[in-house]
Amino acid sequence: MNVFVFDSQLETSQMWQELASAHGFRVHVFHNSERLTGLASEAQLLVIDQSVLPHTFLSSVSTICRQHPSVQVVATGSALKIDDVVDLMKDGVALVFAKPLARHRIVSLLPGLLQRVQQLSEINTEYECLHGRFSKLTTREKDVLNYILIGTSNKDTAQLLNVSVRTIESRRAKVYRKLDANNVAELVRKIDRLESLGKGLGVSPQLKAKSELAPTPQPAGQPSNQLPFSPPHCVPSRVPAAQYARA
């Protein structure tokens, strides 16, 4: 577990190290903010004190929370106002402690915070694995995936994309292989899972189309140059997975 504490006060830094030792994790302490931006992306738990960012504390912490939503951020300070605390919590800070720090309060809340850090780590690992599979799809394979998900036949997809049916079959097979799915129901479940994991991490995999209108396949012999949805490489509204049980 990567735990970084940015606090200029030696006494407070020592307290965090003692708590880390008691709870079985290692903490890295820094007495200024020089490495804060660079290490934020590596952290799982990040403690930031007002003393290392006396002039930009609120804005800097807010930016870190926005850029790294999977990181649990703890904010501390000796000059925090109620409005500051409210703003920090709205921006995604997990906990806010006023100085002087009440050790017993931190001790009581730390187990729950560490549990959340572990949960986010597991979610992030699964998300990265699943997202990595989708990122391997080519633009043309994503086009085919879109049509698979709305139930368009290979023949109609070929007409809409102005390619041969054999080409669609080949791309379809690559989609299933790259996403490690055996049927449409599994594809739908994987996309739903990816979106769910993204929400848990505060990020969006941007899989859904802006338009909720699915394309209507053109009759045979009437190819269409119209793009099915906008943007063309996002996933449109889908038929419920239950309807693909026999796909």
φ, ψ for residue 116, nearest 5 deg: -65, -40
Share of the chain above pLDDT 70, in %: 82
**Which tens digit of pLDDT belongs to each residue from 171-209?**
999 999 999 999 999 998 988 888 888 877 777 665 543
Classify each residue of 19-58 as buried b or exposed e, where b means 16 or more C-beta atoms within 10 Å of its C-beta. bbeeeebebbbbeebeebeeebeebbbbbbbbbbbeeebb
Average pLDDT, the chain: 81
Per CATH, 3-124 and 136-244 having the same topology is answered: no
Amino acid 205: pLDDT: 64
Average pLDDT over residues 95-102: 92
Q: CA 173 to CA 223: how far, in whole Å?
A: 23
Q: CA 114 to CA 112: how far, in whole Å?
A: 5
- Nearest by Cα to 40 from 17, 66, 15: 66
φ, ψ for residue 31, nearest 5 deg: -100, 5
> What is the CATH topology of the domain spanning 3-124?
Rossmann fold (3.40.50)
Amino acid 212: pLDDT: 32
Cβ atoms of 8 and 49 closer than 8 Å? yes
CATH architecture of 136-244: Orthogonal Bundle (1.10)
Taking the domains of the chain in order of start, what are their residue ranges? 3-124, 136-244
Share of the chain above pLDDT 90, in %: 50
Q: Residues with Cβ < 8 Å from 32, sequence gap 6 or more? A: 6, 8, 52
Q: Residues with Cβ < 8 Å from 45, sequence gap 6 or more? A: 1, 2, 3, 4, 71, 72, 74, 113, 114, 117
Q: CA 59 to CA 188: how far, in whole Å?
A: 39
Model confidence, pTM:
0.61
Average pLDDT over residues 40-56: 93
